[in-house]
Amino acid sequence: MSREPRGPNEKLGTVLALAGISNAGLARRVNDLGAQRGLTLRYDKTSVARWVSKGMVPQGAAPHLIAAAIGSKLGRPVPLHEIGLADADPAPEVGLAFPRDIGQAVRSATELYRLDLAGRRGGVGIWQSLAGSFSVSAYATPASRWLISPADSSVAREPKDAEDGATTASAAGGAADAIQPLRVGHSDVTKLREAAEDARRWDSKYGGGDWRSSMVPECLRVDAAPLLLGSYSDEVGRSLFGATAELTRLAGWMAFDTGQQEAAQRYYIQALRLARAAADVPLGGYVLASMSLQATYRGFADEGVDLAQAALERNRGLATARTMSFFRLVEARAQAKSGDGPACGAALKSAEGWLERSRAGDADPSWLDFYSHERFAADAAECYRDLRLPRQVRRFTEQALARPTEEFVRSHGLRLVVSAVAELESGNLDAACAAGARAVEVANRISSARTTEYVRDLMRRLEAYRDEPRVAELREQARPLLVAQA
């Protein structure tokens, strides 16, 4: 449905011409973006013509999907006012701000938590409609501000501040008792850290779309938001911001794993701001590394290198050897995707050196417990896959698969796909299909759009051998998975 016509929307017509998008092309992009958010849309070129020539405004999430579609083509966020749809249903640019003021930072984070749940309960939340699309340029200001000053001078929140925030907590949909100022203690923070530990385990084992993993956004709204809006000393506040930053980064990672790139970006930005409030430089580096992986995955490898190097630069002399190893490994992933073999090799050598220097007694952060020699080998294999060096891929994949565990099921599935690609590029079709079959079996046990996309990429590579019985059998095995995630 659309609202009554208002006259030609010249702004939309002008931006479409600038982006080089036809009416049919825009309709197709909007329908596809809607499908990614669980919406069934059937716009066509006639619909777009009405939006432009008659100024009709589509209802619901459509205006924000239009902005996202055009923004994706232009490579930058497109606000609704630029395309003449500013009076559409509001979906604020929530979560993209990186405020200098700590009070504003709290409001920015809690607003994100509120609107996310609104989407899950059937309202218009950021999971279904966004005022813009993923734009790697949105990471520029957060990264630069974090590099300039990775810690706030004080985060203490006095009772009066908490009283001022009580109304905000109630409006944000916080817990019922959030309307009374809360005095936050270390026991409250411990509960958040335990929730983060549980969520990490479930995410690794069952994927970001598993229902237990997806409870993280609700935990942020119900548990973390009222605490952020309470009162606390500087010491407790630092710890609170650190625990909430971990949970927020996890929410971003799970959104990334399920294909919700725009939501992931907003969570990451808020997680970095919270890590700055916590004065936790290694955690901030971990958030930047997550941003880097997302940017690289989305095709912005150069920006991925910058984000990984930002994580490294601030952590020299602060982070443990294993932490520095992981940051260098993330840089290697971006360097490989950009096609810079020598830079990738140097980063991998450095990452391996740092990892060799790490010791069991080091004070490694708990959020790094997934990182091992097998994980290093797995990411090295993906680097060499991107550099099209199948012999190296096979060597590192063998190391990565040497000790499969039930704890990191998703990672095991991804490694199997990488192994299948390496076997295929080495001319070993039987081995490729065998590894592919094992990967499909793993993918069917978890909820991970990223894993499914890896499988889909493998099937595209096997298309040239579609008439081979082994490939046909694998295609049938993968069909239910790929159809379900289409």
| pLDDT one-digit tens code per residue, 322-340 | 999 999 999 999 999 999 9
Checking if the pLDDT of 130 tops 70, the result is no
Checking if the pLDDT of 151 tops 80, the result is yes
- How far are the Cα atoms of 85, 218, 385, 415 from residue 339, in angstroms, in the given order? 40, 40, 11, 21
The residue with greater pLDDT, 437 or 160, is: 437
Would you place residue 262 in the very low, low, confident or very high pLDDT band (cuts 50, 70, 90)?
Answer: confident
Average pLDDT on 58-75 reads: 80
What pLDDT, on the 0 to 100 scale, is given for residue 484?
63
Q: Is 298 exposed, middle or buried (0-12, 13-18, 19+ CB in 10 A)?
A: middle
What pLDDT, on the 0 to 100 scale, is given for residue 206?
66
For the ranges 66-70, 275-279, 283-287, 387-391, which has the lowest average pLDDT? Answer: 66-70
Would you place residue 118 in the very low, low, confident or very high pLDDT band (cuts 50, 70, 90)?
Answer: very low
Checking if the pLDDT of 60 tops 70, the result is no
| Helix ranges (DSSP H) in 172-280 | 186-206, 216-219, 225-228, 234-257, 261-278
Tally Cβ neighbours within 10 Å of residue 20: 9
Contact 155, 280 (CB under 8 A): no
What pLDDT, on the 0 to 100 scale, is given for residue 446?
80
Average pLDDT on 413-418 reads: 88
What pLDDT, on the 0 to 100 scale, is given for residue 85?
82
pTM above 0.95, yes or no: no
Would you place residue 171 in the very low, low, confident or very high pLDDT band (cuts 50, 70, 90)?
Answer: very low
Average pLDDT on 251-261 reads: 87
Q: Which residues contact 17 (CB under 8 A, 6 or more apart)?
A: none
Checking if the pLDDT of 122 tops 50, the result is no
pLDDT tens-place string over residues 267-277? 999 999 999 99
What pLDDT, on the 0 to 100 scale, is given for residue 90?
45
Kind and range of the H or E run holding 283: helix 281-297
The average confidence (pLDDT) of the chain is 85
Q: Is 480 exposed, middle or buried (0-12, 13-18, 19+ CB in 10 A)?
A: exposed
As a whole number of angstroms, the distance between CA 299 and CA 314 comes to 25
Checking if the pLDDT of 310 tops 70, the result is yes
For the ranges 59-73, 163-177, 197-211, which has the lowest average pLDDT? Answer: 163-177
Checking if the pLDDT of 168 tops 70, the result is no
Checking if the pLDDT of 117 tops 60, the result is no
- How far are the Cα atoms of 104, 189, 211, 240 from residue 226, in angstroms, in the given order? 15, 12, 23, 11
Task: Look up residue 66 and give its two tokens.
Answer: 């239009």
User: What are the respective helix, strand and coil percentages of the chain, to the nearest 5?
Assistant: 70, 0, 30
As a whole number of angstroms, the distance between CA 158 and CA 102 comes to 13
Most confident option among 19-28, 55-64, 253-262, 443-452? 19-28
What pLDDT, on the 0 to 100 scale, is given for residue 276?
97
For the ranges 10-14, 206-210, 255-259, which has the lowest average pLDDT? Answer: 206-210
pLDDT tens-place string over residues 364-405? 999 998 898 999 999 999 999 999 999 999 899 988 888 766
Average pLDDT on 30-37 reads: 77
Q: How close are the terminal C-alpha atoms of the chain, in Å? A: 25
The residue with greater pLDDT, 28 or 447, is: 28
Average pLDDT on 115-128 reads: 47
For the ranges 28-32, 157-161, 419-423, 454-458, which has the lowest average pLDDT? Answer: 157-161
As a whole number of angstroms, the distance between CA 76 and CA 137 comes to 7
Closest CA to 382 of 417, 434, 428, 430: 417
Checking if the pLDDT of 134 tops 60, the result is yes
